[in-house]
Amino acid sequence: MKTATLVFNPIQENTYVVWDETLEALVIDAGNSNDRENAALDNFIAEHGLRPVMAVNTHGHFDHTLGVCHLKERYGIPFALSAKDDFLLENAATSGSVFGVRIGAMPSIDTDLDALSEIRFGDTTLQVIPTPGHTPGHVALYEPQSRVVFTGDTLFRESIGRTDLPGGDYSWIMRSILDKLLPLGDETRVCPGHGPETTIGHETLYNPFIVEVLNNEVGLR
């Protein structure tokens, strides 16, 4: 599986295009927010001869969904998101105004990730791993052969996602990280929703949120 990262919108959100030798592709967390960014994404797709088959989101925050309507209209593809995050689409205009971002139409959900354990495209399968905490319906997407996980806003390089926004919960996000992400193994490559890539091994050693919890758990034994 091949992966490309395009950084879009004022929030500097990572949009991922993933594909394999069949040239079928997914767009994960499409954050393209204007004509220039739409063109950058479309040009990348065209230059690589890709055939998008789905827009899939780790969660429903506006900075990750701004480009989904463009993808649905241009390529006629479905949009996959947990229905638990549908309220975030409905409240996107209000959320965007807090950050000074003008929000247009938000997409409707075509495929509920709550009903899926995996997403298939071409010869590739992504495992859908529920990781609530940043939002109630947040998921990570894991490709075991390449050992790549798209963590959205659950896990960043040496940080974690916010839990002070509507639907956020600190205890949930930490349990998601400890129980769902760390077991993927130290060599697993982490592609987050913002900022640079990292690995599970690096985060186990240097992420202060994870280190604090692991040290406390060791101390309780």
Tens-digit pLDDT profile for residues 12-54: 999 999 999 999 999 999 999 999 999 999 999 999 999 999 9
pLDDT at 220 over 50: no
What is the predicted pLDDT for the residue at 70? 97
Q: What is the pLDDT of residues 83-138, one digit of tens each?
A: 999 999 998 988 887 788 888 889 999 999 999 999 999 999 999 999 999 999 99
CA 189, 30, 91: angle at the middle one, nearest 5?
A: 115
What is the predicted pLDDT for the residue at 93? 81
Distance CA 4, CA 69 (A): 20
pLDDT at 219 over 70: no
**Mean pLDDT (whole number) for 185-200:** 98
What is the predicted pLDDT for the residue at 194? 98
Distance CA 165, CA 178 (A): 21
pLDDT, the chain, mean: 95
Half-sphere exposure of 28 (CA within 13 A, CB side): 28
Q: What is the pLDDT of residues 194-203, one digit of tens each?
A: 999 999 999 9
**Residue 20, both tokens:** 């394999």
* Contact in structure between 127 and 158 (CB atoms under 8 Å): no
Question: Among residues 29, 11, 12, 37, which one has the least CA distance to residue 98?
Answer: 11
Question: Among residues 28, 65, 10, which one has the least CA distance to residue 151?
Answer: 28
pLDDT confidence bin for 218, thresholds 50/70/90: low
3-state secondary structure of 130: strand
Residue 118: which H helix or E strand, with range? strand 118-121
**Mean pLDDT (whole number) for 166-176:** 97
Query: What letter would DSSP give residue 100?
Result: T
**Residue 215, both tokens:** 């040290």
What is the predicted pLDDT for the residue at 99? 82
Query: What letter would DSSP give residue 101?
Result: -
* % of the chain residues with pLDDT over 70: 98
